[in-house]
Amino acid sequence: MPLSGKSAQVASSLTVTLFAVTAAPNSSLRERKKRRTRQALIDTALELFTRRGFGGVTLDELCEEVEVSKRTFFRTFTSKEDVAMAPDQDLWRAFLEELETADPGALPVVELGRDALLAALERMDDEGWARRMLLSRRLAERTPSMGAHGLQFCEATTQEALEILHRRFGLGGRTICGRGWPWTC
């Protein structure tokens, strides 16, 4: 099912920042610089939002702290909510990539989902990811706009996962629900 409105915007955010999860170790200087800038934005945003509150930090202040323009910010993230939820979103992007490359027919769908999630977690080997994830989750608990953004991201991610399962594994609709897929259908 095609996405529209806010779900489509969140789905496009999946594509815009996907390179951070999949970038090869031998990537170009430009790609490495993009990843460093992205990581600096995430780390600084989470630090400032935690210290001063989500609403207590303007986008201008965040960009000034990281020494990037707003244009650079918006090439990487769609909003303050997007940067604050990046650790969580990185995990689910990696999950989608694992589903995309999984061996068709090798496992029942529940085991396929479990293995894809475990493999995605293993890819989050950056020593600071768990801390960033915790900060992001705590911040989301007290910030309604992050909750709304998270729901939109979840919807877009669920739709993408279902599309992958349909396209690659021939599963769809009741087939997925009947086989115990852990997401709401």
CATH of the domain at 127: 1.10.357.10
The count of structural domains within the chain is 1
**Assigned token pair, 39:** 């990581």
Q: How confident is the model at residue 182 (pLDDT cuts 50, 70, 90)?
A: low
Whole-number percent of the chain with pLDDT over 90: 66
**pLDDT band with cut points at 50, 70 and 90 for residue 10:** very low
* Least confident piece of the model among 25-39, 104-118, 129-143, 167-181: 167-181
Q: Is residue 184 part of a domain?
A: no
pLDDT level of residue 139 (50, 70, 90 thresholds): very high
**What pLDDT, on a 0 to 100 scale, did the predictor assign at position 147?**
92
Query: Within a domain: residue 183?
Result: no
Residues 61-119: tens digit of each pLDDT: 999 999 999 999 999 999 999 999 999 999 999 999 999 999 877 678 888 899 999 99
Under a CB-based contact definition with an 8 Å cutoff, are residues 83 and 147 in contact? no
User: For residue 109, what pLDDT is reported?
Assistant: 84
Would you give the distance in Å from CA 179 to the centre of its chain? 26
Number of CB atoms found within 10 A of residue 58's CB: 11
**Residue 88 maps to a domain:** yes
pLDDT of residue 24: 55
Residue with tokens 């496992």: 107
Query: Is 152 domain-assigned?
Result: yes
Q: Is residue 15 part of a domain?
A: yes
The verdict on residue 185 lying in a domain is no
For residue 9, pLDDT over 70 is answered with no
Q: Output phi, psi for 26, to 5 deg.
A: -95, 30
More confident of the two residues 1 and 183: 183
What crossing angle do the helices spanning 144-169 and 129-142 adopt, rounded to 10°? Answer: 120
Dihedral sign (CA 125, 131, 135, 138)? positive
In the predicted structure, residue 28 carries a pLDDT above the cut 90: yes
Q: Which helix (H) or strand (E) holds 131?
A: helix 129-142
Residue 98 lies in a domain: yes
Q: Between residues 42 and 22, which one has the greater pLDDT?
A: 42
Mean pLDDT of the chain: 84
Range of the domain at 109: 5-178
Residue 16, CA atoms < 13 Å, CB-side half-sphere: 18
CA distance 75 to 78: 8
Per the structure block, which two tokens stand in for 116?
């894809």
Asked if the model's pLDDT at residue 14 lies above 50, the reply is: no
